[in-house]
Structure 1
Amino acid sequence: MDAVVTRLRAAGCVFAEEEAQLLLAQASDPAELGSMVDRRVAGEPLELVLGWAEFAGLRIGVAPGVFVPRRRTEHLVQVARALLAPDEVVVDLCCGAGAVGAALADGLAGRLELHASDVDPVATDCARRNLAGLIAERKAFVYTGDLDMPLPERLAGRVSVLTANVPYVPTAEIEYLPSEAREYEPLVALDGGSDGLDVLRRVAACAPRWLRPGGHVLIEISDRQEGAAVEAFRDAGLEAAVHESDEDEYPTYVLVGRRTGSA
């Protein structure tokens, strides 16, 4: 333990003791532990070294080349859960490793019909593993493709909640991200275009086709993007409101759009 902590601390790991405990618990033998510590010291994200990330009380499996789910996105899950009743249809675009869908399903004891998609096949491979139980029960379906393009037509006008953890970092700010993100996560999961809202606008434009009357679309944004993001939703014919978390030192902002009409 002391040797691992010393190496991690020397590499700049702020929470060296906590990370050492996780690595020691995960490693099956000293050789594997040494390899894992080497990877972490080299700068690889802890979650990728462990093979999982904690999210909404779950362990979400991740693999090299996959966007690591952030704890701040748990706020999006909380807002979405409050809008859902059992046995409703949920779509999760830009699903990554499937963290949001898995957390929503867990909160409803698996009582939903989940459709998740991502353009990155590495991500959808992870999502299928994380949602394997629901897939086996025909309660979850994972597609590889651009946003809503692979969704089955039968979902049009039936979706109660559509979530999309889109990339929202402006292109010019990518270089200022932590090296763990820049060097180990796919650019397509980080780069949101010139103002960070390119993908958000595309989701806003396609959402009304899939939402039932009164259905909602939820997207995480930064506080600086609030005005432009709300405008994008309203341009797509959606009512828009921003939900700010009040639990974290650094608040999370979730833009919620509602398709007009009664459910």
Structure 2
Amino acid sequence: MSFFDIVAELRAAGCVFAEDEAHLLTAEARTPSELAAMVGRRVSGLPLEHVLGWAEFHGLRVAVDPGVFVPRRRTEFLTERAAALAPPRPVILDLCCGSGAVGAALLATLPGAELHAADIDPAAVACARRNLAATGGHVHEGDLYAPLPPALRGRIDILVANVPYVPTAEIPLLPAEARHHEPRTALDGGPDGLSLLRRVTAEADSWLAPGGHLLTETSGTQAPEALRIITEAGLLPGLATCEDRCATVAVATRPVA
């Protein structure tokens, strides 16, 4: 199978960046038969990252297993805002961690950080443990804060929670790659897309250190309600946006006193 044949197949399947994908697949495959199989999986609709087994995120190559949420490039903005707010040697919690991409990026950026990550999906937890094993990150399996060690209460400086925020009724409008190959729990944010944010925010005060920050990705249209939720939880609200990446991050800060 020539490079041009691969590009043609990918284009016919609707891949917008067919040439870029062809280069990645060609570089990753070890044999012609493996390359043909990888192209076949991509043409069938499997996300490119699941075919490759990894995603590029914040300068890192992050392992992404089949069935695990693929980290979005816009979420790099969430990572950058979290790093900018972190004190020296911070205690970090990556909640709804998926593959652990955000936590891995923060560990690479913040020397001496202590990282804990958690997710309810066993496949995501296994993937995150692979990505964080060499860095000393601790990965916990369970629903939001439930699996965390009690000793973390009141110690977390940076809490990143990339919670699902797509309203349930809009799930059918997502690209087929997401609908068919990523877990529903990583996409569905409930009736208004903010159900998980409410749960995370309601308990954040007891886990954050004084002056600690919770950062979560949301949409521009949901931002006003997200800030209201933060305020009602007794936290100080803030908002950051990046037009280039179409990214909106809500920030909740625990008051110092």
TM-score band (shorter)? over 0.9
What is the match of residue 38 of structure 1? Answer: 40
SS for the counterpart of 1:127 is: helix
In the alignment, residue 143 of structure 2 is paired with which amino acid? Answer: D
What is the match of residue 183 of structure 1? Answer: 180
What is the match of residue 238 of structure 1? Answer: 235
Q: d(CA) in 2 for partners of 1:43 and 1:159?
A: 40
What is the match of residue 57 of structure 1? Answer: 59
In the alignment, residue 52 of structure 1 is paired with which amino acid? Answer: W
Q: d(CA) in 1 for partners of 2:167 and 2:230?
A: 19
In the alignment, residue 206 of structure 1 is paired with which amino acid? Answer: E
Structure 2 portions without partners, runs of 5+? none
Structure 1 portions without partners, runs of 5+? none
Q: CA deviation at 1:132?
A: 1.1
In the alignment, residue 199 of structure 2 is paired with which amino acid? Answer: R
What is the match of residue 83 of structure 1? Answer: 85
Q: CA deviation at 1:245?
A: 1.1
2:129 is equivalent to residue 134 of structure 1? no
Once the two structures are overlaid, the 10-residue window that deviates more, 84-93 or 47-56, is 84-93
What is the match of residue 125 of structure 1? Answer: 126
What is the match of residue 253 of structure 2? Answer: 258
Q: d(CA) in 1 for partners of 2:31 and 2:126?
A: 27
Q: CA deviation at 1:6?
A: 1.0
TM-score calculated relative to the size of structure 2: 0.98
Q: CA deviation at 1:85?
A: 2.7
Q: d(CA) in 2 for partners of 1:56 and 1:253?
A: 17
Q: d(CA) in 2 for partners of 1:217 and 1:47?
A: 28
Q: CA deviation at 1:84?
A: 1.1
What is the match of residue 95 of structure 2? Answer: 93
SS for the counterpart of 1:224 is: coil
2:206 is equivalent to residue 223 of structure 1? no
What is the match of residue 205 of structure 1? Answer: 202
Deviations 1:230-258 (A, max 9, x none): 1111111000011011433xx21000000
Q: d(CA) in 2 for partners of 1:11 and 1:141?
A: 40
In the alignment, residue 105 of structure 1 is paired with which amino acid? Answer: L
Q: 4+ residue runs of structure 1 moved beyond 4 angstroms?
A: none
Q: CA deviation at 1:193?
A: 0.3
RMSD of the TM alignment (CA)?
Answer: 0.8
Q: d(CA) in 1 for partners of 2:129 and 2:88?
A: 22
Q: CA deviation at 1:78?
A: 0.5
SS for the counterpart of 2:66 is: coil
TM-score calculated relative to the size of structure 1: 0.95
Identical positions, percent: 57
